[in-house]
């Protein structure tokens, strides 16, 4: 017996094969998790890349405006 077949048998004994799900259920598990991960990455990307846009009152001098935007 080679190593790969031994490991395959060990994983089948420990984890077991689930035959109670249909193909659509198994695809749903895989794709729904992938879609949620992609959306989470997009959301976190916006958090760290967009700068805060500050409103500066009209009575501020240009020096104040430059300080606020830095």
CA distance 31 to 22: 14
Query: What is the residue extent of each domain of the chain?
Result: 21-69
For residues 69 and 39, which has the higher predicted lDDT (pLDDT)?
Answer: 39
Q: What is the pLDDT of residue 13?
A: 65
Task: List the one residue out of 67, 42, 68, 45 whose CA is nearest residue 55.
Answer: 68
CA distance 28 to 6: 30
Q: Would you mind telling me the total number of residues written for the chain in this entry? A: 70
pLDDT digits (tens, 9 = 90+) for 4-56: 787 777 766 666 666 667 778 877 877 888 899 999 999 888 777 767 777 77
pLDDT digits (tens, 9 = 90+) for 57-68: 888 888 888 887
């Amino acid at each position: 017996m080679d190593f790969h077949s031994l490991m395959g048998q060990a994983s089948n004994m420990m984890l077991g094969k689930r035959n109670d799900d249909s193909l659509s259920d198994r695809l749903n598990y895989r794709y729904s998790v992938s879609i949620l991960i992609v959306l989470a990455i997009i959301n976190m990307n916006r958090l760290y890349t967009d700068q805060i846009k500050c409103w500066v009152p009209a009575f501020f001098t240009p020096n104040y405006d430059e300080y606020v935007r830095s």
